[in-house]
C-alpha cells in the first residue's frame, strides 16, 4: 500500500524508533534533502547512459559512479534515521580517486565557473548544490544532538559535492564546451 494515513497529522517515524517525529524536524529535513539529492542523481544517471571517460584507473562509466553514489546515499539515510549502517573509508577513497583522476585531465581551477556549459554539466552542478544542502541539513541535525553520525559519513558528504563538481567539469570537457568565468560587472 502506498499510503498508511499514519502521517496525516504531520508526523513520521524513522528506522528503529517507536516514537513519531514532526515532518518539519531537523531529522526529517535531513532525510528529505538526502532523498532529493538521490532522486535528482537518478536523472543524472539516466542522462549518462553509455557515457564514460578514460583515466589512469581505466575507463570510468558515469552511470557506474552515479549508481554507487545513489547506493551510498541510502546508507547515509539509514544512519541518519538511526540504523547502525555507516559509510566506510573505502567509499571515501573511491570518490577521492575518481576526483583525483578527473583533475589530471582538466585545467586547474583558478576561478568560479557559471553553470550550464552543457545540459549534463548543469545537471551535475545542480546535483552538487542539492548535495551541499543535504550536507547542511545533516550537520544541523547533528549539531542539535538529534542524530549521531560517524566521521566517515560526514567526510563522505563533504567529498560528494567535490565529486559532482568534477563530474560536471569532465562532462563539459568531453563535449568541448567552454567553462565561462563570472565577469563580476
- Total domains, the chain: 1
Q: How far apart are CA 26 and CA 146, in angstroms?
A: 8
**pLDDT on residue 139:** 97
- Establish if 6 belongs to a structural domain: no
Of 3-17, 53-67, 76-90, 158-172, the least confident: 3-17
Q: Which of 81-85, 137-141, 144-148 has the highest mean pLDDT?
A: 137-141
Q: Which residue range is the domain that position 94 belongs to?
A: 23-174
Q: How far apart are CA 60 and CA 155, in angstroms?
A: 23
Residue 117 belongs to a domain with what CATH number?
1.20.1200.10
**pLDDT on residue 6:** 57
**pLDDT on residue 150:** 97
Number of Cβ atoms within 10 Å of the Cβ of 155: 16
Q: Are strands 21-22 and 11-12 parallel, antiparallel or unpaired?
A: antiparallel
Q: Is the pLDDT of residue 46 over 90?
A: yes
Q: What pTM did the predictor assign?
A: 0.90
Amino acid at each position: 500500500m502506498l499510503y498508511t494515513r499514519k502521517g496525516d497529522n504531520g508526523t513520521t517515524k524513522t528506522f528503529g524508533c517507536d516514537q513519531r517525529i514532526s515532518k518539519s524536524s531537523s531529522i526529517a529535513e535531513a532525510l528529505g534533502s538526502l532523498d532529493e539529492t538521490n532522486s535528482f542523481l537518478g536523472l543524472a544517471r539516466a542522462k549518462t547512459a553509455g557515457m564514460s571517460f578514460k583515466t589512469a584507473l581505466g575507463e570510468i562509466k558515469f552511470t557506474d559512479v552515479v549508481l554507487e553514489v545513489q547506493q551510498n546515499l541510502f546508507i547515509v539515510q539509514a544512519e541518519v534515521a538511526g540504523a547502525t549502517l555507516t559509510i566506510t573509508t573505502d567509499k571515501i577513497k573511491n570518490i577521492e580517486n575518481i576526483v583525483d583522476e578527473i583533475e589530471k585531465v582538466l585545467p586547474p581551477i583558478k576561478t568560479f565557473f557559471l553553470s550550464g556549459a552543457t545540459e549534463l554539466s548543469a545537471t551535475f552542478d545542480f546535483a552538487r548544490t542539492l548535495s551541499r544542502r543535504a550536507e547542511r541539513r545533516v550537520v544541523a541535525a547533528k549539531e542539535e544532538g538529534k542524530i549521531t553520525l560517524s566521521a566517515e559519513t560526514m567526510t563522505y558528504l563533504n567529498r560528494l559535492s567535490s565529486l559532482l563538481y568534477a563530474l560536471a567539469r569532465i562532462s563539459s570537457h568531453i563535449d568541448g564546451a567552454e567553462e565561462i568565468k563570472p565577469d563580476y560587472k
